[in-house]
Structure 1
């Protein structure tokens, strides 16, 4: 495929933006990468999703290192979440032909609205620590599985779910939630990318450029997260979730039978 400078500059620009948001919010950046690849470069949906997932691997890795430096990663909970998410993603992909995408998207929009409202009511304490017990462990597995199922069904990355659930449901600080979310993404993204490569659903050049570019701004985003007041961080994250909710609602409206 012949590409001009515009395409390569677009890949770099997409990566810079995705990396900043990834570090700032503890998300993979797929909600930015996928629509921009489709909109700016006319990528197909599957190639966009596969390319985004591959780019998330280096991006999340840099993010984890950035958060780990400040001690803001819960290592064991992240691995438990990842194990559940890998299983859940397989379940989601099997359920995909049997479940109404429109109903799922509207359900996810409702979930995001509840989270957005909650973010203004519950302000996380940066002194809060994650206490892992058997009950929390079981809950983490369940959250991981549900996250994986949703990802497999509607292609939403785990960070959008994991970060608010860890803050609101498990009482962790916003920084630990973000660092843990990024770590959880790495094995799930690697697993998904291997499958996508087998099915030729990854543009390796685009993924490499986006991923490397994102790495240059992920640390900046993580640093900004530590400098922002927790309430301000919640407000910014809520604004980000509003954008995702609007995207999901538009997809649900477009998929209605005419």
Structure 2
């Protein structure tokens, strides 16, 4: 009972951070599960996916009620992402956990640098039509690869690229990123579960806690300046990378 309560509270904390940084909680959960509970990399990723999926589906449903998502643009992202995440996850569940953790640390470092560049990158004006729309499939492909490998993609990668490169408004980018993330998260979770890389007893309470708290993080995010949020996110990524390095 005490262990379940601890998982609920941890899920609530990760849900809040996920809402704050707009990442669904997966990028928060994976290092926490690896460092605090000693889960190997694949088990941490699979368990985190169990927490993330209901958050993504709920957010996508609510978002589409207020801001209709372009079906055409969404499908250009979803189809390659779904295929790439499925194929990549089939390979990822067989990789040595230590090598996978090293790869995840490298991913965090690259993601930190990417977000730092985004902070100082002068973006073009956003509009109703996407620039370079025919290249959306490449973004879906790249997001699918990271989703299959590391259990994170979608909003972490797609949203800043959609706003910075494709000229999407923040509202449109977030909706498309959610549409992109939902199918790839589902198929990746299925693959990890089939290969016994999901701790259900831990993941279900984490998911419940995350669902209950993610709105708090979203509310906090809307009260902070965007540059401060990006700075906090970069600090958070570096901290996660350092903590994981001590587990190698």
Coarse TM-score class (shorter-chain normalised): 0.7 to 0.9
What's 2:32 paired with?
36
Q: For 1:163 and 1:72, locate their aligned partners in 2 and report how far apart those are by CA, in whole Å.
A: 16
What's 2:236 paired with?
243
Q: For 2:124 and 2:82, locate their aligned partners in 1 and report how far apart those are by CA, in whole Å.
A: 28
TM-score by length of 2: 0.79
Q: Taking structure 1 as reference, are residues 20 and 171 closer, same or farther at Cα in structure 2, changes over 3 Å only?
A: farther
Q: Taking structure 1 as reference, are residues 27 and 103 closer, same or farther at Cα in structure 2, changes over 3 Å only?
A: closer
Say whether the 8 Å CA contact 1:92–1:153 is kept in structure 2. Answer: yes
Q: Deviations over 1:49-81 (max 9, x none)?
A: 111112111111222234334427555433432
Moved more, 22-31 or 73-82: 73-82
Q: Give the length in aligned residue pairs.
A: 243
What's 1:113 paired with?
113
Q: For 2:70 and 2:215, locate their aligned partners in 1 and report how far apart those are by CA, in whole Å.
A: 18
Give the unaligned 5+ runs of structure 2: none
Q: Taking structure 1 as reference, are residues 234 and 63 closer, same or farther at Cα in structure 2, changes over 3 Å only?
A: farther
Q: For 2:40 and 2:103, locate their aligned partners in 1 and report how far apart those are by CA, in whole Å.
A: 23
Moved more, 232-241 or 165-174: 232-241
What's 2:129 paired with?
131
Moved more, 139-148 or 179-188: 179-188
Say whether the 8 Å CA contact 2:159–2:173 is kept in structure 1. Answer: yes
What's 1:233 paired with?
226
Q: For 2:105 and 2:128, locate their aligned partners in 1 and report how far apart those are by CA, in whole Å.
A: 31
Q: Taking structure 1 as reference, are residues 114 and 37 closer, same or farther at Cα in structure 2, changes over 3 Å only?
A: closer
TM-score by length of 1: 0.76
Aligned residue for 1:187, secondary structure, equals: helix
Query: Offset of 1:241 from its aligned partner?
Result: 3.4
Q: For 2:128 and 2:243, locate their aligned partners in 1 and report how far apart those are by CA, in whole Å.
A: 36
Q: Taking structure 1 as reference, are residues 224 and 33 closer, same or farther at Cα in structure 2, changes over 3 Å only?
A: same
Q: Taking structure 1 as reference, are residues 246 and 158 closer, same or farther at Cα in structure 2, changes over 3 Å only?
A: farther
1:88 corresponds to which of 84, 87, 108: 84
Q: For 1:23 and 1:164, locate their aligned partners in 2 and report how far apart those are by CA, in whole Å.
A: 16
Aligned: 1:201 with 2:197 = yes
Query: Offset of 1:174 from its aligned partner?
Result: 2.6
Q: For 1:58 and 1:121, locate their aligned partners in 2 and report how far apart those are by CA, in whole Å.
A: 33
Q: For 2:34 and 2:103, locate their aligned partners in 1 and report how far apart those are by CA, in whole Å.
A: 24
1:147 corresponds to which of 143, 147, 153: 143
Say whether the 8 Å CA contact 1:61–1:186 is kept in structure 2. Answer: yes
1:179 corresponds to which of 175, 181, 196: 175
Query: Offset of 1:237 from its aligned partner?
Result: 3.0
1:157 corresponds to which of 153, 163, 178: 153
Give the unaligned 5+ runs of structure 1: none
Q: Taking structure 1 as reference, are residues 66 and 224 closer, same or farther at Cα in structure 2, changes over 3 Å only?
A: farther
Query: Offset of 1:162 from its aligned partner?
Result: 1.0
Query: Offset of 1:119 from its aligned partner?
Result: 2.1
Q: Taking structure 1 as reference, are residues 250 and 144 closer, same or farther at Cα in structure 2, changes over 3 Å only?
A: farther
